[in-house]
Structure 1
């Protein structure tokens, strides 16, 4: 296998990548008594969950992701009890405000009556409709989250939903979750306010208002926001990573940074370990788990010639989500919003009505950069006062741009100017507050985190044609791969992007099943299914 690792590394499991999914997987295996080594190519762990002083001294900016409704709501992450390892969730006074071009706004609050009052201002009766949606959510939330985040097919969660809803309502719920978000909003609400809360949250993905499957993201994010808000880790996103690392180390696991894995080692159709960029091999006695995008795993870390030709062909057609650019600011004071809702919200959407959002999505689909972008903005000091000196604000914004475009420094500067103009229109005096700025185009995001391929932040489109049994390619919708004891643990696997740890948790559980009683039968079944799918 090559040179042995320093200290003679020979562990039960190697995890490639220390993003949240990789660290969740490592923790689940360590809880089972496995010896676990996590290898990370970057100098610090966390993947897209990191915090740095990148704009000005004293300002702690989240380098990539920032708000975590899925993380706080995820049964996978909740089950790790990270609060015992230093994680503290904190909240802005309000959850989210969507600000329209004329400065009207709609508010999502953890107080359901405040949300109801806000959506009722757009249409009388929508407040009652919102309360009814939230009551439904609270009745079935656990089964919904299990159905969405656990391995496919969700048999137990599906039976729970049938018991709670009955067959007729369960079918209608399933229909709703596959609909475009425009259709969902129009069926449930009379006014633009509630519809915009749904549509704006769908725009966190690469789905526009008229694409199938947007309804599930709208309902999930808005109802999680209503119930638990859009919380952030006190001290920065990196504190979520730190808690995961501390928990792993308390159970004997290790994370080694600056060790980029270049190859998964195989023998007899089984994963045996990995090789890093220095040529050092690490043996994995029981499993290799890869928290990397599926194309990177199959087409770079494995011998392509050893894989089924149909799988390789499918992977070459893998569809990424939209590219992203991000701006972080150090501000000398809070953003002077004209909208009172925006002053209190940790997350602010700046964008048009649903028709306007559809136009932005169409521009992106056609490879055009929208003239007036949809902006997703975070006010981090509003949510967590520890992020910057008293009286200041650490803030950021991201927006989607077409994939594959080249962004020169001058073009990025002009796009940032346009973004700041849009913010200024709703917060006169904003630009005078900027004392530091950090800009990351799509290529910059990928250079800092190799999993953000081309600036894609969700490791593949959220379109329904690449979800469930189609994620990452038509197959089993499980973490198992055609290589025995190799498991896909990243967001390219079901259930997809977001900081919820589900792909990592699912991969770890699959590894435990494969290694446990009846594992040979399980492995044979998976190999047979893979042959049926890929031959």
Structure 2
């Protein structure tokens, strides 16, 4: 759908990433007339698939495995199975291959995982099972707390009832402990700590950083509980299901509709203007699935914002840049350690100390000489990704955050990545029949929200989380502009395909619009904003 002129709807959603589509769906469920304005020619943001390596080989262009999406109460509540979304699992969830050739493996059968870790140290199998039992006690309220606005009252109260005060305090400690420390407390051998640290490195946090432990623990335990599933037919199926659901409820998407201004008057969001001059007036709300700096500085403009907010945005920190490579292989990866062959996801290139060195190089703005790779064996997880007997493979690695990468730097680092794979699977290069490289600039060009190839909408560091995300404030989707809501990964709870930022923004918009309580809600948010940004 493309448009010109002036249009009036209940809500304008800027950006058709998965968070924008979630927000639009929830507003449409409430009977609102909704339009989504998407700058590119396709929906989905970082949840998309295409054949980019060779004919018949499907690649997930950005995100791929979805434990958070599968577990998310937000996505589960949308019943996307009715719109064609189904899931598959690889035989093993995750394998972390050590430099010495050993592998620590998570399998959805806890006893199989325990046996893998027992090989690293006597008793570590039982320690894993004990850690998993602890997780099972808190899993449901934990996911509720993660995916609801801050403060998470309902999920928090449920956790407190289950754990009581002493247990809740221990959980609070786990939320801030570094993953190296957590691994050391839970296990004696190298397998368990390295599994946790590798999971934590899905963010931009070093093993020694506060808060890294909770990410490693969350992803590893979700892997044990539900696996790291993939949509049958590729990541695009999540987007397609969200789009189908939205359109079935009367929602619309306008493509190639890049917004260059959020329209405001008397401190209230009134709509949006696209680069072709079209005006989209919003009776009720504007929701923005774009990074926080883009919303505040580019679309709203510093002139209408509190000066303190603009100052705080100068300290907003992006997560690291990303380099992703997809390969079409004529046969499965010839791993030397065959325990790795059945894992959907493989962590490769470093043990725990190596992960620390890798993160330190990134902190120094250096390209790691020995990159840590996150590898996806997509055909192993979903045979529809490539012809029988072949493999659709990808790997990505973090880079220091920059927006000015030279082509030769990217090419040299791709060579390093392929050497890591060749070392672990001799003969890998001979199997390559197609390759697609997406450096930071490529990622941003195809998806403008991936600024500098940063995937998380901003760092996952503790100083930019909860009520500090994206800057010190409410920890909610509300902004200092009435009826304008931040619905992207820059908002709490951050990155990951779980839909929570979009859902939180929609809930805030609905709360503000209620006839009996909306005015009181607006006064409460306004009072809080005045205290934060005098």
Q: What TM-score do you get using the length of structure 1 for normalisation? A: 0.98
Alpha carbons 2:403, 2:452 under 8 Å: kept: no
Give 2:107's match in structure 1, choosing from 109, 117, 127.
109
- Partner of 2:100, secondary structure, is coil
Indicate yes or no: 2:431 matched with 1:430.
no
**Which residue of structure 2 lines up, in the alignment, with residue 439 of structure 1?**
437
- Partner of 1:436, secondary structure, is strand
**Which residue of structure 2 lines up, in the alignment, with residue 487 of structure 1?**
485
| Residue 5 of structure 1: how far off its partner (Å) | 5.5
**Which residue of structure 1 lines up, in the alignment, with residue 344 of structure 2?**
346
Mapping of residues 224-235 of structure 1, within 5 Å: 224-235=222-233
**Which residue of structure 2 lines up, in the alignment, with residue 287 of structure 1?**
285
2: CA distance, partners of 1:60 / 1:426: 24
Alpha carbons 1:5, 1:281 under 8 Å: kept: no
Alpha carbons 2:4, 2:277 under 8 Å: kept: no
**Which residue of structure 2 lines up, in the alignment, with residue 45 of structure 1?**
43
**Which residue of structure 2 lines up, in the alignment, with residue 151 of structure 1?**
149
Mapping of residues 133-532 of structure 1, within 5 Å: 133-404=131-402, 406-516=404-514, 517-532=516-531
Q: CA separation of 1:5/1:335 partners in 2, compared to 1, >3 Å: closer, same or farther?
A: closer
1: CA distance, partners of 2:23 / 2:207: 34
| Residue 304 of structure 1: how far off its partner (Å) | 1.2
Give 1:35's match in structure 2, choosing from 30, 33, 36.
33
| Equivalences, count | 532
**Structure 1, residues 358-413: CA drift from partner, whole Å, max 9, x if none?**
11111100111110011000011111111111111111100011112643222222
**Structure 1, residues 130-185: CA drift from partner, whole Å, max 9, x if none?**
11111122222111111122101111211111111110011011101111001111
| Residue 441 of structure 1: how far off its partner (Å) | 1.1
**Which residue of structure 2 lines up, in the alignment, with residue 74 of structure 1?**
72
| Residue 499 of structure 1: how far off its partner (Å) | 0.5
Unpaired runs of at least 5, structure 2: none
2: CA distance, partners of 1:326 / 1:287: 36
Give the RMSD, CA atoms, in angstroms.
Answer: 1.2
1: CA distance, partners of 2:167 / 2:123: 22
Alpha carbons 2:6, 2:279 under 8 Å: kept: no
1: CA distance, partners of 2:267 / 2:55: 52
2: CA distance, partners of 1:194 / 1:381: 27
**Structure 1, residues 268-303: CA drift from partner, whole Å, max 9, x if none?**
111111001101001111000000000000000012
**Structure 1, residues 467-508: CA drift from partner, whole Å, max 9, x if none?**
011100000000000000000000000000010000000000
- Partner of 1:9, secondary structure, is strand
**Structure 1, residues 64-96: CA drift from partner, whole Å, max 9, x if none?**
111111000111111101001000111111100
- Partner of 1:262, secondary structure, is strand
2: CA distance, partners of 1:365 / 1:216: 20
Select between 6-15 and 112-121 the one with higher mean Cα deviation. 6-15
1: CA distance, partners of 2:403 / 2:59: 26
Alpha carbons 1:16, 1:292 under 8 Å: kept: yes
Give 2:92's match in structure 1, choosing from 91, 94, 98.
94
- Partner of 1:43, secondary structure, is coil
**Structure 1, residues 428-460: CA drift from partner, whole Å, max 9, x if none?**
110001011111111111111111111110010
